[in-house]
Amino acid sequence: MRWSWCAVLSCFLAACGGADVGVDSGGGDGHGAADGGGADAAEMGDGGVPGDGTVGGDAGIRAFDVKIAPVIAVTRGRDTDVTIKIVRSAVYHSAVDVVVSGLPPGVIVAPLTVAADSTAGTLRFTTAAGTPEAPATPVTIAASGGGHAADVAIGLIVTAPHGDLDASFGTGGLVAGPGGSALASTPDGAVVVVRGSGMDLVITRLLDDGAPDPAFGAFGDATLAGEGHALLDVAALGDGSIVVASADVGGASIDVMRLLDDGSLDPTFGGTGLVALASMTAATVRLIAQPDGRVLVAASSGGAGPVEIRRLAIDGALDASFAVSGDLVVSPATAIATGPTGDVALLQWPNATRYDLDGAPAGGYAVVAAGGEIAVLGAGDDLVVASGASIVWCAPDGSQVGYMGPSDLPELPSALVLDQSDRTIMASGDGVVSLRALFGDGSLDVRWGDQGTRTLAIGGLAGPRALAVDGAGRLVVLGHNGIARILP
């Protein structure tokens, strides 16, 4: 089941009998933000709940307000630190005691005292390993001091661990290395990364545990002659074979190569394992593996130039049954969206058009996002588009169903992917990788990672280059100098 922030909030508000959450005397909006910490951590937004005490008998002056995230997720078997903020009036300077009640079985919180000279404290929620998962439960945060009180109702979700680094992959979920420009995941859980330009083009294949595949190339690395080309993309076919694409440094020609299990070129593909598409020019190349083993090659010259798509048959020949004589050209187009089903969508601001497996138009989207630099299709033909400072979600019928503007985005996304739960995973950052798990309305999935976010501040991973989701639903993150895998 998909739980957006709005759905969770509505659920526990209904259970509370319509309690007003996150609204203070100044009209704060109550939206929570989240950050990772040593333990799972939650931060409050600007909302709060007014206290019912007064100062000096003046009913117009409140002693203090309480501000805390309106929905909190705790993970069984862990501690979760939650920040609570005390907003005092100018004449109130006493300590404030905080007690939490209504907790589900298996969750405990020690009482907290916020000192008179402090404006915030940390509530530590300890959740037993055997605690059942549960949707939002109404919980009361009661604050009192100096004869005054303020209560706030929040929603508490109990969840199993989601969004953790996969300890079975590499060292604690990380494989350090030279990184690359693109990655793919094969049906058996292997990870394939491509890198290199000029003389040597390197394809690395890692086994499911992150170790180099000893049967692939030389200790997991297959090296091809570059001849002035740069590797731009990789795709894994249903039979586990690998297809890679390179372009010369001027973008005047594209080579598509298919590799055998041992990393050598497959001679049944184009006669030599290499198909040269000399008439296709590109600054960006995307490979899309179709379910029957055919491959789409999508090339963009960048900016608002044309996008050209061709389909190669299993033997590498140009497939004339695709679009018009095997060639689809759309101009201008600002981005190529691909998904797990093998179809594509091309952005032509302010709209986008989806094309089916045979290159015929199959639906449109109203994408209200200027430019549209990154886009991705879901298995159900949902479309997510990131322009410079916003993200737009569109339903399969083409309608816009979600939006995040510049004020909602902490950083500009550099990669997007839709996982098997229809969450949008957004990657950003430079030097560290910041991940956010978002529902289609732009709200964080607080069950994932640390209240919907995860920061990979680990050696060897210096900013995201690409994202992929493997057949087990695990997220693979490619950085400049390493690879991480994260559990769903």
* Tens of pLDDT, residues 105-128: 999 999 999 999 999 999 999 999
Q: Is 349 found in the same domain as 396? A: yes
SS3 breakdown of the chain: % helix, strand, coil, rounded to 5? 0, 50, 50
Mean pLDDT of 428-447: 87
Q: Is residue 362 part of a domain?
A: yes
**pLDDT score at 433:** 84
3-state secondary structure of 2: coil
Mean pLDDT of 346-364: 89
Q: Is residue 214 part of a domain?
A: yes
* Confidence at 371, pLDDT banded by 50, 70, 90: low
Residue 469: name the closest of 435, 444, 428 by CA: 435
* Confidence at 61, pLDDT banded by 50, 70, 90: low
Q: Is 182 found in the same domain as 133? A: no
Q: Is 212 found in the same domain as 128? A: no
Average pLDDT, the chain: 83
Q: Is 19 found in the same domain as 99? A: yes
Q: Is residue 166 part of a domain?
A: no
Segments forming the whole domain that contains residue 82: 5-159
Distances (CA, A) of 4 to 46, 64, 71, 304, 399: 20, 31, 11, 34, 18
C-beta separation of 70 from 47 below 8 A: yes
- The 10 Å Cβ neighbour count of residue 38 is 8
* Tens of pLDDT, residues 302-314: 767 789 999 999 9
Q: Is 353 found in the same domain as 242? A: yes
Mean pLDDT of 165-191: 91
Q: Is residue 294 part of a domain?
A: yes
**pLDDT score at 372:** 66
What CATH number is associated with residue 14? Answer: 2.60.40.10
Q: What gap in Å lies between CA 103 and CA 8, rounded to an integer?
A: 17
Q: Is 178 found in the same domain as 141? A: no
Last residue of a domain, one of 159, 188, 214: 159
* Confidence at 34, pLDDT banded by 50, 70, 90: very low
> Residue 191 class from Cβ within 10 Å (0-12 exposed, 13-18 middle, 19+ buried)?
buried
**pLDDT score at 421:** 85
pLDDT reading at 279 higher than 80 = no
Q: Is 204 found in the same domain as 110? A: no
Q: Is residue 167 part of a domain?
A: no
Last residue of a domain, one of 159, 187, 215: 159
Do the bridges between strand 307-312 and strand 327-330 make them parallel or antiparallel, or are there none, so unpaired?
A: antiparallel
Mean pLDDT of 430-441: 87
* Paired tokens of 69: 């995230």
- Which one-letter DSSP state was computed for residue 473? S
**pLDDT score at 5:** 43
pLDDT reading at 217 higher than 60 = yes
Percentage of the chain exceeding pLDDT 90 = 50
Q: Is residue 393 part of a domain?
A: yes
Distances (CA, A) of 395 to 12, 269, 372, 382, 418: 27, 37, 17, 5, 13
Q: Is 439 found in the same domain as 300? A: yes
Last residue of a domain, one of 99, 129, 159: 159
- Which of the pair, 96 or 58, is modelled with greater confidence? 96
Q: Is 255 found in the same domain as 115? A: no
pLDDT reading at 37 higher than 50 = no
- Which of the pair, 374 or 328, is modelled with greater confidence? 328
pLDDT reading at 211 higher than 80 = yes
pLDDT reading at 140 higher than 60 = yes
Q: Is residue 165 part of a domain?
A: no
pLDDT reading at 175 higher than 70 = yes
pTM of the model: 0.80
Mean pLDDT of 372-378: 83
**pLDDT score at 464:** 80
Q: Is 219 found in the same domain as 79? A: no
Q: Is residue 168 part of a domain?
A: no
pLDDT reading at 25 higher than 70 = no
pLDDT reading at 287 higher than 60 = yes
pLDDT reading at 98 higher than 60 = yes
Range with lowest mean pLDDT among 58-62, 101-105, 314-318, 381-385: 58-62
Mean pLDDT of 377-397: 86
The count of structural domains within the chain is 2
pLDDT reading at 68 higher than 80 = yes
pLDDT reading at 378 higher than 60 = yes
* Confidence at 331, pLDDT banded by 50, 70, 90: confident
Q: Is 151 found in the same domain as 61? A: yes
**pLDDT score at 23:** 28
**pLDDT score at 462:** 57
**pLDDT score at 458:** 55
Q: Is 426 found in the same domain as 349? A: yes
What CATH number is associated with residue 395? Answer: 2.130.10.10
